[in-house]
Amino acid sequence: MGVIKEGRVTGVVPSREAFAVHYPGYPCSISRAVDTLGGLQGLLKARSLQSNRLELHFRPEDPYSHPAFGDLRPCNHLLLKISKNKSANRQIAGLSDSLGLQSGNISDDTTHVSESGSSTKEVEAQMPDDDLTNLCADIVARVPEAYHFDGMVDYQHVIAVHANVAHKKKRSWLEMEDPHSEKDCLMDIGEDDVMMLVPPLFAPKDVPENIVLRPSVTLTSKKNEEAVTQPDLEIPKRINWEEYIPKGSDQWESQMAVYKLFDERPIWIKHALNERLLDKGYNVGGHMLRRLLSRVAYYFSSGPFLRFWIKKGYDPRKVPDSRIYQRIDFRVHPSLRSYCDANTANQATQRWEDICAFRVFPFKCQTSFQLFELADDYIQQQIRKPPSQKTCTCGTGWFSYVVLDNLRHRIAIRFLSTYPKPGAEHLLKEAAENFEKSKRRLSKDSVMLNEEEHQEMDPEAIGNEDVQEPNIVEDEEENDEEELFGSFPSSEAGGDAEKIQNAETSDEEYQIFEQDSEGNLSDEYD
């Protein structure tokens, strides 16, 4: 490059590239540091791996040494070579000194030496420091990537280096204690007979994380009776994100577009929200979309709104009208999953709007929907009826299990009717039969609910035997019908019914929300 003048240097940046390692320690030498990183072969191997993780063994000579892992991150750095050269003026001054020594008389040799020495000091005093030495800077290479060791080192199982020496000393001590003891005793164990089984890693993670432990399922019934119901966790409040984003920037426009979508409706599924942004001309990546959402929304890690993005300040557990945004799943029958496996690479080609309108058969074996988005008149009519429950439960939300079971069968009919290949006719017929049965159960459940409400409104009618007689007969007939319908097998709803009923009575009924926790969010639930 050249000499540094006034803190500046000019030159051409070379095209050669290198990578940096932020070494988490103070090695005694560069060669020792390279050895702890696996040597040159280990560095080349790490560069060729897809994981881009560099292993650092602080004791490379120990085969049981567990490594610390360094992650590769992009950067924009330069590798400089700084050198210091003596100034040409200083060399000239030294040359003049030698000439002054030679020009003096032989008799007055001492006098001339002293005078020339004083003149040298005067020349050095007149020259500035920059003229004495020159700093030169050369850019050796560009550094676009660097390894960072931000995690913790794994637990170490240290083997004594001098174990063999200690074993020999112990053997000599035993021979001195009992010189008549046999040499081939049980204490004489060779190194080859010792087997050390140490796992590759003791800890699966090198970064601490916050975890929420579920309550123990072995609690006694007495403790369950005495347990006090914990209040719902407080939902996050709205933040003033306008103060942190420059107005008029691309990020501002994208953030405002996401904010306006939550003004349209308070709860969104990620697929629908991403498609709406694309239709508006905002092509936002997955990581950036998550940042935009975390500023204006949050999500639950369990319950009927699982992994749905909810507007900050809005609590769907306290608003009965939020039932139309609840979650419902559609699972492809095992006999049809080969179709989904064959179209795994084409999942991104399907529009979310077409799937919710039942125009195409989904390519995923399990898909989560919002009831609000399903384009079916029967489903929309059912979810807009007054809720049968006064509270929002973790298992079924604002709906009863009978209602959700009925809606699942309706969704199965609509999707099976769009299956593009033969082989789903018997499944469609079975789904239609199960749907009719669920409709009858739903109607009976509604009649019983209306009777209970009527009895609460008119308690004097409870003692009237003339009015109660026909009701008793009807109840007996309904019980007979329930036993009859209950004897029919239901291949689709049996497993889900047992899970939801167990969830309603289990100790795992708790609500918890998470805000922008990287690494815990699965694409399956987005």
DSSP 46-64: HHHSSS-EEEE-S-TT-TT
In this structure, what is the dihedral angle of CA atoms 458, 462, 464, 470, given to the nearest 10 degrees?
100
31-35, 183-187, 451-455: the lowest-pLDDT one: 183-187
Token pair belonging to 232:
């719902």
Between 471 and 198, the higher pLDDT residue: 198
Residue ranges with strand state E in 288-365: 297-300, 309-311, 327-331
Task: Show contacts of 216-220: CB within 8 Å, 24+ apart.
Answer: 216/507, 217/506, 217/507, 219/507
**Buried (b) or exposed (e) across 178-197, using 16+ Cβ within 10 A?**
eeeeeeeeeeeeeeeeeeee
Which range is least confidently modeled, 26-40, 146-160, 223-237, 338-352?
Answer: 223-237
Interval 417-435 mean pLDDT: 91
Residue 105 confidence (pLDDT): 39
**In the structure encoding, which two tokens stand for residue 254, read together?**
């994208």
Tell the burial category of 403 from Cβ atoms under 10 Å away from its Cβ (0-12, 13-18, 19+): buried
The whole-number pLDDT of residue 234 equals: 79
What lies within 8 Å, CB to CB, of 432 at 6+ separation is 413
Q: Which two tokens stand for residue 466?
A: 């003339």
Tokens of 178: 């009992």
The pLDDT of residue 6 is 78
DSSP letter at 243 equals: G
Q: 352-370 pLDDT, tens per residue?
A: 999 999 999 998 999 999 9
CB atoms within 10 A of CB 46: 20
pTM of the model: 0.46
In this predicted structure, the answer to whether residue 230 has a pLDDT above a threshold of 90 is no
Q: Which of 151-165, 241-255, 321-335, 339-353 has the lowest mean pLDDT?
A: 151-165
pLDDT at 99 over 90: no
Position 432 scores a pLDDT of 93
Say if residue 255's pLDDT is above 70. Answer: yes
Check: CB of residue 441 under 8 Å from CB of residue 497.
Answer: no
419: exposed, middle or buried (C-beta count within 10 Å: 0-12, 13-18, 19+)? Answer: middle
Q: Classify residue 238 by its DSSP letter.
A: P
Lowest mean pLDDT among 10-24, 196-210, 353-367, 466-480: 466-480
| Beta carbons of 338 and 396 less than 8 angstroms apart | no
Report the C-alpha gap between 22 and 54 in whole angstroms. 11
Q: How far apart are the first and last CA of the chain?
A: 52
